[in-house]
Amino acid sequence: MAQNIKSICSKLDTIKKMAESLRDNPPSDKILVKNAIDLIQSDCLLVAKAEIDYENETIEKDHHYDYNGVDVDSL
């Protein structure tokens, strides 16, 4: 299933929040810790295996400026 870049970044933000929550407030039960780690690992695997749809993304053109602040690409 093809994903767009925004959805991949949102998933990464979610993974980061889960990891911070686990680090800051670890559950007292070892099974809950294992479940939280398994969930983070499975989400990481989903991101790693995701196919990103680059064709429908709008990527802004890079601008290259010289020392005077002139956009070299526009010359």
The whole-model pTM stands at 0.65
Residue 65 lies in a domain: no
What's the pLDDT tens digit per position in 11-38? 999 999 999 999 999 889 999 999 999 9
Residue 60 lies in a domain: no
Query: Total structural domains in the chain?
Result: 1
H/E stretch holding 22? helix 5-24
Amino acid present at 66: D
What's the pLDDT tens digit per position in 54-67? 666 555 566 666 66
Residue 48 lies in a domain: yes
Domain that holds residue 23: 2-54
Residue 66 lies in a domain: no
End-to-end CA distance of the chain: 41
